[in-house]
Amino acid sequence: MPHTIVSDRCEGVSDCVDACPVACIHPGRGTNSRGNPFFWIDPDTCIDCGICLQVCPVEGAVLAEERPELQKRP
Ligand code: SF4
Ligand code: SF4
């Protein structure tokens, strides 16, 4: 099951972007509800390796399940 970035929790640190082996984490448009840049995971490309969850320093920003209602996409 693809992973999800909770848009309103992401702080835009981008550790996950550099770590993702298939480059499926992309910048969101604008900022989230807390004024931070954020990223989103393309569920069609994600291979569910879990590395983004391991490297993200922000509690609750990455979920190991597909939750499209929590993740803004362009
Ligand atoms: S999900 Fe975590 S590591 Fe990735 S951009 Fe957001 S805060 Fe940074
Ligand atoms: S689970 Fe793996 S493939 Fe999917 S977004 Fe995270 S690092 Fe990339």
Q: Is 43 part of a structural domain of the chain? A: yes
How does residue 56 score in pLDDT terms, banded at 50, 70 and 90? very high
DSSP3 helix / strand / coil % (the chain, rounded to 5): 20, 15, 70
Domain that holds residue 35: 1-67
Of 40, 52, 63, 66, best ligand 2 pocket probe by most atoms within 8 Å of the beta carbon = 52
Mean pLDDT for the chain overall: 97
* Residue 20 CB less than 6 A away from ligand 1: no
Ligand 2 atom showing the smallest separation from residue 23 Cα: 8
Q: Give the Å distance between the CA of 67 and the centre of ligand 2.
A: 14
Q: How many secondary structure helices (H) and strands (E) does the chain include?
A: 2, 4
Q: Is 61 part of a structural domain of the chain? A: yes
Instruction: Quote the number of domains for the chain.
Output: 1
Residue 63 has a CB neighbour count (10 Å cut-off) of: 18
How does residue 74 score in pLDDT terms, banded at 50, 70 and 90? confident
Q: Is 73 part of a structural domain of the chain? A: no
Tokens representing 64 are 């190991």
Q: Is 74 part of a structural domain of the chain? A: no
What CATH number is attached to the domain comprising 53? 3.30.70.20
Residue whose CA lies nearest to ligand 2 atom number 7: 20
Q: Is 42 part of a structural domain of the chain? A: yes
pLDDT of 1 over the 90 cut? no
Residues 6 or more apart whose CB falls under 8 angstroms from that of 38 comprise 5, 7, 8, 10, 11, 12, 27, 28, 31, 32, 72
Q: Is 54 part of a structural domain of the chain? A: yes
Q: Is 72 part of a structural domain of the chain? A: no
Residue keyed to tokens 């298939």: 22
